[in-house]
């Protein structure tokens, strides 16, 4: 896979992650282009992000609306084909800004948020792709719908709020084997007719690819430690 496909500059972290994605896809009998890389740029400024854009990366993830609103509008003006994903929790009072800024919201996880998103998307005529976040480890402190409640929540997003759900997202517990969580997310997606799976971070994206990830969200392995 080319690491210099657009602007001719190299970025070591990005090149390494791309090589590893391609290798993991191949090992799993999948085409490398079935796996999209979301470069997680939270806490990093434009001086760190720009070299990654210049090396050809176009999809980025941020976990806070406010932080993203501060740094992305300028970059978007310069690179109109950027795609921005919200991967952190979304409060309903930030929905207006989030719908205006993001191309994909990966953290839809409760009925009130579904309702407010549907209203705001209609109002703005902007329709970011939506992923339902599943709290596969049922951790108290973590966002996401519980696995047992996922089917009903997805159905209500579709039927009550008229939302199109693209896929599912999860963040496995830090101290557990991630593959069980990836397998669970895949199973919930399959029985709900969803084809996109956002799973896998710097420590486990190769495992996630083996379990069917179509998006991996990688920060540290590209940008360095935060």
Identify the residue whose tokens are 């795609």. 83
Rounded distance between C-alpha atoms, residue 39 and residue 52, angstroms: 9
Could you say whether residue 92 binds ligand PLP (CB under 6 A)? no
Q: Work out whether strand 129-133 and strand 104-108 pair parallel, antiparallel, or are unpaired.
A: parallel
Least spacing, CB of residue 73 vs ligand PLP, in Å: 21
Least spacing, CB of residue 110 vs ligand PLP, in Å: 17
Q: Would you say how long the chain is, in residues? A: 226
Least spacing, CB of residue 27 vs ligand PLP, in Å: 20
Angle of CA points 184, 209, 103, to nearest 5°:
85
Options 44-52, 69-77, 179-187, 213-221: segment touching ligand PLP (CB under 6 A): 213-221
Rounded distance between C-alpha atoms, residue 45 and residue 59, angstroms: 16
The residue among 200 and 212 lying less far from ligand PLP, judged by its C-beta, is 200
Options 93-101, 110-118, 157-165, 201-209: segment touching ligand PLP (CB under 6 A): 201-209
Number of residues that bind ligand PLP (CB under 6 A): 14
Contact 59, 79 (CB under 8 A): no
Contact 79, 100 (CB under 8 A): no
The residue among 40 and 95 lying less far from ligand PLP, judged by its C-beta, is 40
Could you say whether residue 201 binds ligand PLP (CB under 6 A)? yes
Two tokens at 39? 């470069």
The DSSP letter of residue 7 is T
The residue among 85 and 161 lying less far from ligand PLP, judged by its C-beta, is 85
Could you say whether residue 217 binds ligand PLP (CB under 6 A)? yes
Burial class (CB in 10 A: 0-12, 13-18, 19+), 29: exposed
Give the one residue of 92, 179, 192, 202 binding ligand PLP; rule: CB under 6 A.
202
Contact map string, positions 18 to 47, toward ligand PLP, x by CB under 6 A: ----------------------x-x-----
The DSSP letter of residue 90 is -
Catalog residues that contact ligand PLP under the rule CB under 6 A.
40, 42, 63, 87-88, 171, 201-203, 217-221
């Amino acid at each position: 896979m080319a690491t210099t496909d657009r602007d001719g500059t190299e970025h070591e972290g990005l090149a390494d992650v791309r090589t590893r994605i391609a290798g993991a896809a191949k090992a799993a009998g999948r085409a490398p282009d079935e796996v999209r890389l979301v470069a997680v740029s939270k806490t990093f400024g434009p001086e760190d992000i720009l070299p990654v854009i210049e090396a050809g990366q176009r999809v980025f993830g941020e976990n806070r609306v406010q932080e993203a609103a501060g740094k992305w509008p300028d970059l978007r003006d310069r690179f109109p084909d950027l795609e921005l994903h919200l991967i952190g929790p979304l409060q309903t009072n930030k929905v207006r800004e989030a719908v205006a800024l993001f191309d994909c919201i990966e953290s839809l996880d409760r009925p009130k948020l579904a309702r407010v998103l549907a209203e705001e998307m209609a109002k703005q005529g902007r329709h970011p792709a939506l992923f339902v976040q599943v709290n596969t480890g049922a951790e108290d402190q973590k966002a996401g719908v519980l696995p047992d409640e996922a089917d009903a929540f997805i159905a209500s997003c579709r039927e009550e709020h008229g939302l199109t759900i693209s896929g599912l997202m999860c963040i496995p517990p830090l101290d557990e084997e991630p593959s069980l969580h990836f397998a669970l997310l895949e199973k919930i997606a399959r029985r709900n007719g969803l084809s996109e799976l956002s799973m896998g971070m710097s420590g486990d994206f190769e495992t996630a690819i083996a379990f069917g990830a179509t998006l991996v969200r990688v920060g540290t392995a590209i940008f360095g430690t935060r």
